[in-house]
Structure 1
């Protein structure tokens, strides 16, 4: 009987180790997107490597428990009427089809990266702008644990404010459609963290990577960025990945900046007009996005936080208001 109990416990543990998780991909952008997946070399296959996702729609994908890889969203996609080849203006995977089939995103692309069931029974995840940027994205674990399972992402649209040298332009499109990394734009080893600059000591953040870091403090901005940009959660959590998550703002070439703790960050304007001399700014966030406010480092600056109708309403004292651009 004791042997049977031990075998039963081992079986339960084995089953829990192989239990798949769910990635719910949501499109809150103004237009259709085409999410793509690339698995690590030793990862089990996924049921899909790419699909179409209309505005306002969601799709859940079953992910093996020990999967590692990345996902992104392609934009401005079309199919050639003569050849039937499928391609996208940003983050194209080059497969010629909606399914990426083992091909990664062509930079620039905002990447959501995962290692599930990794060291210590933890999931590791991050949002990376190392390969550039094309869309805002938020990773939101469904399992909320004190001290872990934090939300991460880049909540702002950087294409309008992208430095001229990095801006990806497209024929017939006003403004930029994506923002390249300095490595891709210039090929300089100093920006690529390669050759003589291939160590954390020799590869330092550039003015270009700081553009990304200031706007999206939780995301990786260059190869040797602060390792706190990687987040962890106990294995077994499901994840929601939202492209163009609310709240987010489109940043133009001239926009509001707030100076907090020495870092200039784009701010989300209140939907209600305020007098020029107003000292308070009131914003409403869905309750589930409260954790995304951490990178703004508002601790000690909040004069009023209250929950009402599943929303967090925050009134912030205006410390320093600037008009400018990167």
Structure 2
């Protein structure tokens, strides 16, 4: 049984402008391949839907941009999209969106074998790998037509998988996958884990392969695959970067906070767990790397992690993993307002924005201590949201969010959509704001927010700050809201005089007081807030084409 993914280059002129990828299912059963591009790294996407059905022994060919960045392809097993369209639609590899994985949050649920690419990367090299960092669900091989090395995992790792990692299983009890020791949470703390290379184990020196449980099972069977987070040391992969300087980040308000780092970009992660409860009016301080890349923070609402923790645990912003978003696939389910950062980016600038590209679920503001511009969406967009975008709703019918036109799929084809800036609309020229439905609603209410995929042209979407100023940033949820005189159930809301820091002490309240209005009455128990750090640096986990 083998899933074979081959790559070749298509030369159109004197320089290659596209590559041809051929995905072949050599398995004797149907699979459902999926495709994802981290749009925080680059906007260039393949000419192919983000998910499709692949019958046994079938092939499909398509083109990808010659400079495709942070791209991944994987196979999903035992899928049924007839009743549920989401991460649980498949036994392995399911994604937000269903058959068509969401272009912003549609990473695959582990265990899953992943093929990864960054084309025209550092040193003008293509980087690629077959990754077992998220576990295994299908054998896989990446070949090419120019004699570069083969990356593969040609062995079915399910049947002989260690029992503590084995699964999920099909209806006959046959193992469809083999989890990583990190995803299986064998050491009990994924935020400070030798298996996950997190916390005190977040460098190559403190997270050697010898400390990763069952590394030898994966690497011994698949020596040409990426076996754990720092497998560059196996000499099959390259590109490790280490950084030590940190930036202080301050976050205010809300109930469940979350942190996520996309390890395909960088292994540098903030000094904070990937999920925690933050009661109403609370604040927390933590540090992030001084060169943090593609970082995200967002808030989740109306969460319940007591049953089947995962993307459906929250009304908005839920993620793979539950309270603690999965380190590699834990992006948030739209609609969700995002705060985004890249520190020490091009021209030694910090880049940051409040993004409505995935819709809106909470007002949000980013400010700083060095006088750089404020990015914000201070308005609750739910109540007046156009009816075709409004929702989800709480138990009394109050709108908790406002979807983007892309996520609502208003034009019927997310893979070729002016609302999504995809397919033939994948450039600023072919996807102007005038072609995006309801752009004016989001941008008119939140002129300092990033309202669609190419909103840089508005000049009030993506903000910068000289990295040399070493800014500390404050993210505030529900800024500048005014309270009504309403008493919410058995709890009346008031403004606190102090906040609790991450070290357990108290400090004076900073930023605007967070006085919760009717729109956020659920904050009497604390509004659901998720801090998610997403790092995706064009496949640092990759094989160099030499």
Q: Which residue of 2 aligns with 1:44?
A: 44
User: Structure 1 residues 157, 84: CA separation in 2 closer, same or farther (over 3 Å shift)?
Assistant: closer
Query: How many aligned positions are there?
Result: 215
Within 5 Å, which residues of 2 pair with 1:61-76? Answer: 61-68=62-69, 69-76=71-78
The 8 Å contact of residues 195 and 213 in structure 2, kept in 1 or not, is answered as no
Give the structure with the larger strand fraction.
Answer: 1
Say yes or no: does 1:226 pair with 2:235: no
Normalised TM-score (structure 2): 0.37
The 8 Å contact of residues 170 and 176 in structure 2, kept in 1 or not, is answered as no
What is the RMSD of the two structures over their aligned residues, measured on CA atoms? 2.4
Q: Which residue of 2 aligns with 1:168?
A: 167
Q: Which of 111, 124, 127 is residue 127 of structure 2 equivalent to?
A: 124
User: Structure 1 residues 135, 198: CA separation in 2 closer, same or farther (over 3 Å shift)?
Assistant: same
User: Structure 1 residues 84, 65: CA separation in 2 closer, same or farther (over 3 Å shift)?
Assistant: closer
Q: What is the SS of the residue equivalent to 2:80? A: strand
Q: Which residue of 1 aligns with 2:157?
A: 158
Give the structure with the larger helix fraction.
Answer: 1
CA distance in 1, matches of 2:213, 2:14: 46
Say yes or no: does 1:204 pair with 2:204: no
Q: What is the SS of the residue equivalent to 2:177? A: strand
Q: CA deviation at 1:46?
A: 2.4
| Uncovered stretches (5+) of structure 2, i.e. residues with no partner | 1-10, 240-546
Per-residue CA distance 1:205-263 (angstroms, 9 max, x = gap): 2241111000000111111113533389xxxxxxxxxxxxxxxxxxxxxxxxxxxxxxx
| Uncovered stretches (5+) of structure 1, i.e. residues with no partner | 1-12, 233-326
Q: What is the SS of the residue equivalent to 2:22? A: strand
Q: What is the SS of the residue equivalent to 2:182? A: helix
The 8 Å contact of residues 18 and 64 in structure 1, kept in 2 or not, is answered as no
User: Structure 1 residues 14, 172: CA separation in 2 closer, same or farther (over 3 Å shift)?
Assistant: closer
Q: What is the SS of the residue equivalent to 1:203? A: coil
CA distance in 2, matches of 1:126, 1:174: 30
Q: Which of 75, 79, 82 is residue 81 of structure 2 equivalent to?
A: 79
Q: Which residue of 1 aligns with 2:95?
A: 93
The 8 Å contact of residues 101 and 107 in structure 2, kept in 1 or not, is answered as no
User: Structure 1 residues 14, 54: CA separation in 2 closer, same or farther (over 3 Å shift)?
Assistant: closer
CA distance in 2, matches of 1:94, 1:21: 27
Normalised TM-score (structure 1): 0.61
Runs of 4+ in 1 over 2 A off after TM superposition: 13-18, 83-86, 96-102, 226-232
The 8 Å contact of residues 37 and 100 in structure 1, kept in 2 or not, is answered as no
